[in-house]
Amino acid sequence: MDLTFWTYEGPPHVGAIRVADSMKGVHLVLHSPQGDTYADLLFTMIERENRRPPVTYTTFQARDLGASTAELFLKSLEEACDRFKPQIMLVGDSCTAELIQDQPGSLAESANLPVPVIPLELLAYSRKENWGASETFYSLVRGLLSRSVPAPDWVRPDRSDEKSPSVNLLGPSTLGFRCRDDIKEITRLLGDIGVEVNVTAPLGAAPLDLLRIPEADANVSLYPEVSDSTCTWLERNFKQPIIKTVPIGVSATMEFLKEVTEKLDIELPSQEFPESRLPWYSRSVDSTYLTGKRVFIFADATHAIAAARIAKEELAFEVVGLGTYSREQARQVRTAAKEYGVDPLITDNYLEVEKSISEAQPELVLGTQMERHIAKRLGIACAVISTPAHVQDYPARYSPQMGFEGANVIFDTWVHPLMMGLEEHLLTMFRDDFEFNEKVAPSHLASEGGGIKKDGESVEADSDLSQSANFTWELSAEKELRKIPFFVRGKARRNTEKFASEKGMTVINVDTLYEAKAHFAA
């Protein structure tokens, strides 16, 4: 039993719904009680879908238990088949149904439906949403392709000259992060180097499209959380190499293109990508102020790892925290964390995340909507980079994360919540000007009620963090502290107290303040 306040991922069957919902002609009959129908709203409200997800819930009640839940399942299955006429029917258990063991798979087999049925094992008590999506996608692909698997010693023939090189884009799904725009961006980018996209799945694919997967030269595992197991199976059975670089960030996108051309054995056209604006934006003088900004990253593994690299190499931030809630991908995050010299945070307990964030004292948090709330409470700037996300993270405008345009979007999104360079500078110069003082939020955030906490609050929040009750600030020191620009004041206070406690001092005067400043200057 685990005490859970907020959960990053839903149960595995929500992952199954994501895959069914992403595709055309697929329906899922989920053996479950009525409350589980809440999952519909994730799709219709958060992603604003204009149709109900293709799921029929059996909604059994206590009075059905023991006697008639199996019958109810069969009735729901037949009615759903009749009404929705899917090309493929998925059947599975939610957590409660898993306990009553009606075996939807064998029940469905006995029903002799006019369409193929693929049973799902969703392991509600040990797994979570992304695993459920991955497992469902894998079951579908394997279910449809297992009969056409070639002999084990089969060798993939070289591509004929008439055929253009092609790949499949695997993994994008509804309720994923910016999948709709990512696939558009990556398809365009691949087109630029003469590579066709054979099948994109599950998002937008029909069962017949899945049958065409083996025709491509390679598979791009675009969202490894969802696509890795499928890609591995395809590699083993259809000898399709996997393209593993996730093209988030400028360098990663370049490496992605390189990997594609290598695995497809084609030339990388020596081409400029004028749409790639991040490098110049990052080098322009205004961005100087971004140097060394302390950033804390917590997300799904794929987006967390990509964000850390962008933060460090493409924006010159300092990564002060890196973690993920996806235990399945923990290893990769650990490796990355080591590179940035931080302790990896692998947890799905948001309270631990909150604690780490407040200890790390970042200036920017990149996370999920949970971290947005944490950051809001701590008065720290924040951008959402991964699921779970809320309705405003499914924007109307084109805003991919992948490819060069994705990197442009990322630059804008991450820099926006920070104080803009020049503005920050002016604030410091004019901090005593009565009209232009620290209580005024940065102008570009004014409409949002300000991204930075008001003075009084932030001092309070600071003292929360550093238990300054242990110290007495002399009035002169306190006054001096007030002269420090407010956006670094919290840090100054913390550093001074840290310094004081290291020196065993309890009273802080102006000298202590400057000694601490010198001490931490390195």
Partner 1 sequence: MNEAVLAWDGQEKAVNHLVQERGQRAVFCGLTSIVWLHRKIQDAFFLVVGSRTCAHLVQSAAGVMIFAEPRFATAVLSDRDLAGMADCNEELDRVVGQVVARRSDIKTIFLVSSCPSEVIKLDLGNAAERLRRTYAGKINFVDYSGSGIETTFSQGEDSCLQSLVKQLPDAGNEDPSLLVLGTLSDIVEDQFRRLFEGLGIGPVSFFPGRAAGDLPPVGPGTRLLAAQPYVNETVRSLQARGATLLRAPFPYGAEGSQGWFRAAADAWQVPVTRFREVIGAPLERARLAVSQHQSQLTGKRITFLPDSQLELPLARFLNRECGMELVEIGTPLFEQQLMQVEKSLLPETVRLTEGQDLDPQLDRVRRDRPDLTVCGMGIANPLEAEGLRTKWSIELMFTPIQGFEQAGDLAGLFTRPLTREAQLKV
Residues serving a catalytic function are 286
The CA-atom distances, in angstroms, between 500 and each of 169, 467, 495 are 56, 13, 8
Considering the rule CB under 8 A, would residue 57 count as an interface residue with partner 1? yes
* Token representation of residue 128: 């979570």
287 versus 349: smaller Cβ distance to partner 1 = 349
Q: From the list partner 1, ligand SF4, none, pick the one residue 312 interacts with, judged by a Cβ distance below 5 to 8 Å according to partner type.
A: none
Residue list 209-248, contact with partner 1 (CB under 8 A): none
Q: Which of 142, 212, 277, 390 binds ligand SF4 (CB under 6 A)?
A: 390
Q: Which of 208, 351, 422, 488 binds partner 1 (CB under 8 A)?
A: 351
Distance CA 14, CA 29 (A): 12
- Burial of 334-347, coded b for 16+ CB within 10 Å and e otherwise, reads bebbeebebebbbb
Q: 366: helix, coil or strand? A: strand
Considering the rule CB under 6 A, would residue 395 count as an interface residue with ligand SF4? no
Residue list 95-124, contact with partner 1 (CB under 8 A): 95-96, 99-100, 124
* Token representation of residue 279: 């490098």
Q: From the list ligand SF4, partner 1, none, pick the one residue 48 interacts with, judged by a Cβ distance below 5 to 8 Å according to partner type.
A: partner 1
* Strand boundaries in 121-232, DSSP class E: 166-170, 196-201, 218-221
The CA-atom distances, in angstroms, between 130 and each of 47, 299, 493 are 17, 13, 42
In terms of Cβ atoms closer than 10 Å to its own Cβ (0-12, 13-18, 19+), residue 45 is exposed
Q: From the list partner 1, ligand SF4, none, pick the one residue 155 interacts with, judged by a Cβ distance below 5 to 8 Å according to partner type.
A: none
Distance CA 371, CA 382 (A): 8
Tell me the closest approach of the beta carbon of residue 457 to partner 1, in angstroms. 14
Tell me the closest approach of the beta carbon of residue 44 to partner 1, in angstroms. 4
Q: From the list partner 1, ligand SF4, none, pick the one residue 57 interacts with, judged by a Cβ distance below 5 to 8 Å according to partner type.
A: partner 1
Q: From the list partner 1, ligand SF4, none, pick the one residue 321 interacts with, judged by a Cβ distance below 5 to 8 Å according to partner type.
A: none
Stretch of 30-38, 210-218, 249-257, 503-511 lying at the interface with ligand SF4 (CB under 6 A):
30-38
CB 152 within 8 A of CB 205: no
35 versus 292: smaller Cβ distance to ligand SF4 = 35
Q: 26: helix, coil or strand? A: strand
Q: Which of 16, 31, 52, 512 binds partner 1 (CB under 8 A)?
A: 52
**Token pair 């790639």: residue:** 276
Helix or strand (DSSP H, E) at 427: helix 421-429
Tally of residues, the chain:
522
Considering the rule CB under 8 A, would residue 48 count as an interface residue with partner 1? yes
The CA-atom distances, in angstroms, between 421 and each of 22, 284, 408, 476 are 42, 11, 18, 30
Draw the binding track, 61-90, toward partner 1 (x: CB under 8 A; -: no contact).
xx--x----------x--x---x-------
Alpha-helical runs (H) found in 62-206: 69-84, 95-100, 104-110, 129-145, 179-192
Q: Which 8-state DSSP code applies to residue 66?
A: T
Size of residue set near ligand SF4 by CB under 6 A: 7
Considering the rule CB under 8 A, would residue 253 count as an interface residue with partner 1? no
Q: Which residue is nearest to ligand SF4 (CB)?
A: 35
Considering the rule CB under 6 A, would residue 35 count as an interface residue with ligand SF4? yes
Size of residue set near partner 1 by CB under 8 A: 57
Considering the rule CB under 6 A, would residue 33 count as an interface residue with ligand SF4? yes
Tell me the closest approach of the beta carbon of residue 238 to ligand SF4, in angstroms. 39
Tell me the closest approach of the beta carbon of residue 376 to ligand SF4, in angstroms. 8
Considering the rule CB under 6 A, would residue 36 count as an interface residue with ligand SF4? yes
CB 401 within 8 A of CB 303: yes
Q: From the list ligand SF4, partner 1, none, pick the one residue 351 interacts with, judged by a Cβ distance below 5 to 8 Å according to partner type.
A: partner 1
Q: 70: helix, coil or strand? A: helix
Considering the rule CB under 6 A, would residue 95 count as an interface residue with ligand SF4? yes
Q: Which of 369, 401, 408, 468 binds partner 1 (CB under 8 A)?
A: 369
Residue list 389-418, contact with partner 1 (CB under 8 A): 390
Considering the rule CB under 8 A, would residue 287 count as an interface residue with partner 1? no
* Token representation of residue 378: 């701590």
Considering the rule CB under 6 A, would residue 194 count as an interface residue with ligand SF4? no
Q: Among positive and negative, which fits the CA dihedral 106, 107, 112, 115? A: negative
DSSP labels, 267-305: -------TT--HHHHHHSGGGGGGTT-EEEEEESHHHHH
CB 407 within 8 A of CB 192: no
56 versus 245: smaller Cβ distance to partner 1 = 56
Stretch of 33-41, 178-186, 209-217, 262-270 lying at the interface with ligand SF4 (CB under 6 A):
33-41
Considering the rule CB under 6 A, would residue 100 count as an interface residue with ligand SF4? no
CB 401 within 8 A of CB 410: yes
Tell me the closest approach of the beta carbon of residue 361 to ligand SF4, in angstroms. 23
Distance CA 249, CA 411 (A): 9
Q: State the residues that interact with partner 1 by CB under 8 A.
A: 1-7, 9-11, 13-14, 33-45, 48-52, 56-62, 65, 76, 79, 83, 94-96, 99-100, 124-126, 128, 351, 369-370, 373, 377, 388, 390
Binding site for ligand SF4 (CB under 6 A): 33-36, 95-96, 390
